[in-house]
Amino acid sequence: MNKLSCVLMALAVALASSELLAGPKVVAKGFFANRAVLVINGETRMLKVGETSPEGVKLLASTSRGAEVEIDGVRQTLSLSRQISATYSEAKVAEVRIPRSDDSHYRVRGAINGQTVDMMVDTGATLIAMSGRDAARLGIDFKSGKRGRSQTAGGIVNSYYVTLNKVSIGGITVHGVPASVVEGNFPVQILLGNSLLSRLEMQEQAGVLVLRQKF
């Protein structure tokens, strides 16, 4: 082996060693109570507190504002403005990540016409759907909308078709969204249907629903 080959081999070994010592590359994508969505070496992982990823990253604590992880025995604090082992880069489009709940549904807090609401993603619903009770709370004059009929557990009831001025989820905002209002208390939770979802890019990654605003 000549001198040049020896030098090249030594450099390769040094580079490989530095990568191993650097540890996994971790990017924060979303924080929730006792759960966090992290991208580790390019793989999306949703960890619960106490869980360790295949790459050796253990989630110690998590709130909506940040998380604490342990890598190779070292505790580190992670926020959306910080990336471990590299420079954080913001998403180029508005993006929301929703973790799957224990009952396998995706629930998210957002806003309708500027008022905070809790919604459940329902890809089987043609429109955003809500009860007359919720619509009244949001100040929606639904009885001025086009009238129809809907089947509920309590029988057939009146429903009304309206257009919501604005629906927001995280940094995503969509204007002029069709919705259905059903008289009474059904559905119990506002359903986030395809009148909004069809206007977003939607992808599921490791138990996390990713919504991105189309431009």
Region 160-178: mean pLDDT is: 95
- Does 84 score more than 70 pLDDT? no
Statement: residue 12 has pLDDT above 90: no
**Please, what are the domains in the chain?**
3-90 (no CATH), 107-213 (2.40.70.10)
Output the pTM of the full model.
0.67
Q: Look at residue 195 in the predicted model and tell me its pLDDT.
A: 97
Can you give the three-state secondary structure of the chain, one letter per residue? CCHHHHHHHHHHHHHHHHHHHHCCCEEEEEEECCEEEEEECCEEEEEECCCECCCCEEEEEEECCEEEEEECCEEEEECCCCEECCCCCCCCCCEEEEEECCCCCEEEEEEECCEEEEEEECCCCCCEEEEHHHHHHCCCCHHHCEEEEEEECCEEEEEEEEEEEEEEECCEEEEEEEEEEECCCCCCCEEECHHHHCCEEEEEECCEEEEEECC
Checking if the pLDDT of 21 tops 70, the result is: no
Arithmetic mean of pLDDT over the chain: 84
Lowest mean pLDDT, pick from 1-5, 11-15, 136-140, 178-182: 11-15
